[in-house]
Structure 1
Amino acid sequence: MTKVELKVKPIENGTVIDHIPANKALQVLKILGLPKKGTNVTLAMNVHSRLGYKDIVKFENRELAHTEIDKISLIAPDATINIIRDYEIVSKNKVRKVNELNGIIKCTNPKCISNTEEPLETKFYLVDSNPITVRCHYCERLVQYDEIYNQFE
């Protein structure tokens, strides 16, 4: 029996997000609002690696903003972001664990001042990373992973 190796076409310019926990790639895509018309997205799920299993997402002609990377840290705190230009990796950075989230998610308390005063940027503090739980700076409401994730729909 011959060994078959699957190959994925390299991208000329764009971003590769590697080391996403297995079965979390679709959540990363949702947070980033992908796929969009005209954006080529490649997705690999449950790929065997030396540390177990992982997911990989790559998309062409787009680099991530810092706020998008902070959002990814909620789902994949150990992910690696690779920026590709002219088929070469020009930047390779680990997603940093974010202890403070500013302007990324909304408070689920409808009476929170961040929902009633404009323009007041939301601010949350990481309370627990498994499962993700954050605390609102203004009303101290705890917001769980499912409530955070549902905001990206």
Structure 2
Amino acid sequence: MRKELQVAALENGTAIDHIPTDAVFKVVSLLQLQKLDNRITIGNNLNSNKIGKKGLIKVSDKFFREDEINRIALIAPNVNLNIIRNFDVVEKKKVVLPDEIIEIVKCNNPKCITNNEPMKTRFHVIDKEKVELQCHYCELKVRKEEIELI
């Protein structure tokens, strides 16, 4: 059996692995990768022993901040984040939803104070598996498929 790399190796940067195939381009958009000048490799429908088919995004010379990573967890929970330096994985992180999401998600309630006053949105994560949030101010519950990012 012939082994081959499906995606080129990364010298320095971040590899976002095990992205559900339907979320790959949402992650690209969320992280605004189209605005970067860095070399970016996007793979989709790659074979995965864990989840059948997966997506993968490699971003050269980019290390994401915590708030950027939190965005990924909203649409693709349980992805792996690999920090690569000099072709070696120096850190592996499992992306997990924090207990609170601030200024990332818009409240779907038009009467919510966050839609009528200049203030940051704030949501409590009430179900990390299904990705369900609750607005701190109006208590509206928002399911994963209803999430609208700011």
State the TM-score bracket (shorter-chain normalisation).
Answer: 0.7 to 0.9
Deviations, residues 105-147 of structure 1 (Å, cap 9, x unaligned): 22233332223333x3221122445654322110112334344
Distance 1:95 1:8 in 2: 21
- 2:138 alignment partner, SS class: coil
| Kept after mapping to 1: 8 A contact 2:19/2:56 | yes
Relative to the length of structure 2, the TM-score reads 0.83
Deviations, residues 33-85 of structure 1 (Å, cap 9, x unaligned): 11225122111112222222221111112111101111111122111111112
RMSD of aligned residue pairs (Cα, Å):
2.3
How many correspondences in the alignment? 149
Relative to the length of structure 1, the TM-score reads 0.82
Q: Which moved more, 1:41-50 or 1:137-146?
A: 137-146
Q: Match for residue 12 of structure 1?
A: 11
Q: Match for residue 80 of structure 2?
A: 80
| Kept after mapping to 1: 8 A contact 2:7/2:43 | no
Q: Match for residue 147 of structure 2?
A: 148
| Kept after mapping to 2: 8 A contact 1:100/1:124 | yes
Distance 2:133 2:6 in 1: 39
Q: CA deviation at 1:14?
A: 1.2
Unpaired runs of 5+ in structure 2?
none
Distance 1:76 1:37 in 2: 21
| Kept after mapping to 1: 8 A contact 2:97/2:128 | no
